Each structure stands twice: as C-alpha cells, then as structure tokens.
Chain A
Amino acid sequence: MINLELGFFIAKFYLAGYFLCFLMSYKNKQKNLSNLIITTIALVNCIFNQYLKEALGFYTFYLGAAFQILILLLISLIIHLYFRIKHKKTTLVVYGLYLVIAISFMVLHRVRVVVFDSDEHILWLINAHSVLTLTLYFLSVCVLAYGSKILWKSQFGRSSSLF
C-alpha cells in the first residue's frame, strides 16, 4: 500500500486538479457543455468518495469503487440524453478511461476477496493497481483540461475567418 500521507497529498492534488478543470470548463460552457457535466459529476464523486471509503469494509471496498464509477457514467449518460447534449470526443475518452478503471477494480476485487481472501500475499498487485489507477485518473484530468481549453480560440471568431 502507499503511505497514508502520500495518499492524502495525491488526493488533495487530484481534487485541486478536478476543481481547476471545473472552473475552466464552467468558463467554456457555451462551447463544450459535455465537458462541464462530466467534470461536475466527477468532482462531486471525488468529494463524496472521501466519506464513502470509510464506510466500506474489506469485502466491498473495490466493489463499491467500481459501482461508484459506473453510477457516474450512468448519471452522465442520462443527463446528456435528457438535455439533448451531444457527446464530445474528450468526454468519450474520459468514459473509456473510467471504464478501464472500473474493470480493473472488479478484477482486483475478484483476486483479493475470492482467490486470496487477504492483502498479505498480493501487496505487489495492490501497489501496481494503485499506480495504474492513479495514472489513469491523472490522464483523465489532463483530458478534461484539454477539453475545456481546446475550443477557447473559437470564441473570438467563426471558423470561416481562420482560413
């Protein structure tokens, strides 16, 4: 497992990153509303997660994490359909990253609870998995920032004036 202090630092760092992405995409909401929706839900999930992970026990920890990510995707899909907002490519990339994270959570849950029933023998796997998920979360933050910023230049003129 990672050090607790390092873990809390990483959590704060990612929360700040999501919050910055939220502010940037709120400024850019007229051009890329899809990015604002996914960022808002991810930020709410990120904050709610800090309270939820204390309530989950050994047997439901990774299961709950996977369930949370899938609920996030479902809420985002429902909002997009209800308000008739079209998905942007960056949002779809974030969906893909989150699906990979959810599947990895499920695989780790299967290995930890059903096969070994303890953390002692598979500490290396849990470490590797945490590195993988944190990398994917960092990539998702990068994609969200890219999606909020890519369309700013089109606020100053239509595309016909660029050519």
Chain B
Amino acid sequence: MEIAIWTFIVFILIALFKTLKYENNNAVYNEEQLIKRYFEIKNINPDYRISSLRDWEVCAFNVLEKRANSKTNRVVHLKSIDNIK
C-alpha cells in the first residue's frame, strides 16, 4: 500500500511536469482567445485594423516627405496605436 502511494507521488510529479511542459506552448492556449478577441473588435469597428494601417501610411508618407527638409524628426508617430488604452 505504501509503495503504491509512493508510486502515486512519483506519477503525480511526472504528470505535473508533463502538464507544465505542455502549457509552456503558449500558442495552443492563446490562439482561440486571440481569434475571439479579433472577431469582437471586428464586430465593434470593422475598419479598426485598416484605419490604423491607413494612419500609419499617412504618417510614414509625411515623414518621408519631410526627411529631405529636416534631419531632426525622423520618428514615425503611430497615432492610432499611441492612443490605445
């Protein structure tokens, strides 16, 4: 009986380490939640990702235009991403 319990302890330790190794793969656990979150955002604002890309394009274009004139301000400001809260 005691040997059975000791083997049970070892078995649970092995199961614990196997579980932690399996959980270490974050993608398996986060993929479903990320997809759900993506569709939530899509339902709220279908244009969300496209608008942020458009803002980034405008900013990048402005920066490229101004680069010839001024050498100081070369940072691309991501307006839509800066305001995320």
Contacts and interface: CB of A to CB of B under 8 A. Distances in A.
Interface residues of A, number: 25
A118 to B, nearest CB: 18
Contact of B1 (A63, A74, A103): A63
A161 B22 CA distance: 32
A74 B19 contact: no
- Closest 8 pairs (CB-CB, A-B): A161-B85, A86-B23, A86-B29, A70-B8, A73-B12, A70-B12, A77-B15, A66-B5
Given A84-B29, A160-B85, A95 B16 contact: yes
Interface of B: 1-2, 5-6, 8-9, 12-13, 15-16, 19-20, 22-23, 28-29, 84-85
A81 interface: yes
Interface of A: 63, 66-67, 70, 73-74, 77, 80-81, 84, 86-87, 92, 95, 99, 102-103, 106, 109-110, 114, 157-158, 160-161
Chain A binding surface, main DSSP class:
helix
A109 B5 CA distance: 11
